[in-house]
Amino acid sequence: MKERLRIPAEWERHDCCWLAFPYLAAEWPFNLEGAQRTIAALCRAIATAGNEQVRLLVRDRDIEAVARNLIGASNKIDYVAADYGDCWVRDTLPLLGHTPSGALGAVGFRFNGWGRKFEDALDVEIGRWFTDHLGAARLEHDLVLEGGALEFDGRGTFITTKSCVLNDNRNPGFGPTDVENALRSLLFVERVIWLERGLNHDHTDGHVDMIARFVAADTVMCIRANTNDPNAEVIRSIETVLRDAGLTVRTVPSPGLVFAPDGAPIPANYCNFYVANEAVMVPFFGVPEDGEAHDEIAAAFPSRAVIGLSARDLLWGGGAFHCATQPQPTLP
């Protein structure tokens, strides 16, 4: 029987966190420099408050020089040269976990540019390079799936969305059972909780890490709508499904309508946080709800500092802090 990995919960100990420095001007038509500053600030926060080694992918020496200048001196940040496209390593790198023998394993699903919207050969190739670089045992499946489409508690419960994983632009003809069987062939899976869809204006077709996150075993955090929220109906249905699944539900406010520089609404949310060893990095949007979100997430993680960082520039490119990070778990 093929080995199955256990993917740890994000609050379990990490050896390091992997990120990638943005460099493609065409991917950041509004503000490449703003995205670079945000990733630099995120790296500093993970390394300092989070007490976590950071390994930052850089495309070449020129990009590394830009990154070093923005981040500053730190012995907890390593620069790793690699060929990559986007900075969204949660989706382009494999998920890392533990094999039954306690070794590092990497789960590689097929990546097709978020439903063929943003195809780049380097985004496909970086996953195998990464696995080889780590010397991890690689498990593969032809299922099209991004890391941001799966949320897990480390104990076998997974949450995902039909609008993304069952979309014809990824897995035409697949139903929930097909996907669950594929996951169980590679991962330790006890149950999968299916949400119908994610946020409007999310070009990932509804990644779950934008809407619901485990904060403890059997406890999940999701968004609660405010009066000007374009996703109010979706948000209420998400909470209902999670409660009906027997989970304890904590909520965090929605930041409401947040716009890109061209006036288009973007899927702003506080659920796309990253849980480092000693801190939680939370996306802030310069709105009154930021403070309330900080307090709600701090209550969910009482043993960790909660660091709010501006995420508007990064979200204009489609994601926030969870999307831009890939933790490497400490082996048992």
The mean pLDDT of the chain is: 94
Q: Which residue has the tokens 């998400």?
A: 238
Per residue in 45-78, pLDDT (tens digit) is 999 999 999 999 999 999 999 999 999 999 999 9
User: Which pLDDT score is estimated for 1?
Assistant: 41
* Structural contact between residues 46 and 17, judged by C-beta atoms closer than 8 angstroms: yes
Per residue in 310-319, pLDDT (tens digit) is 999 999 888 9
Domain 14-329 bears CATH identifier 3.75.10.10? yes
* Structural contact between residues 105 and 138, judged by C-beta atoms closer than 8 angstroms: yes
User: Which pLDDT score is estimated for 228?
Assistant: 66
Exposed / middle / buried, residue 46 (Cβ in 10 Å: 0-12, 13-18, 19+) = buried
87 is annotated as an active-site residue: no
* Structural contact between residues 136 and 168, judged by C-beta atoms closer than 8 angstroms: no
What pTM did the predictor assign? 0.96
Per residue in 81-106, pLDDT (tens digit) is 999 999 999 999 999 999 999 999 99
Domain ranges of the chain: 14-329
Residues of the chain with pLDDT under 70: 1-2, 227-229
Q: Which of 16, 17, 164, 323 is catalytic?
A: 323
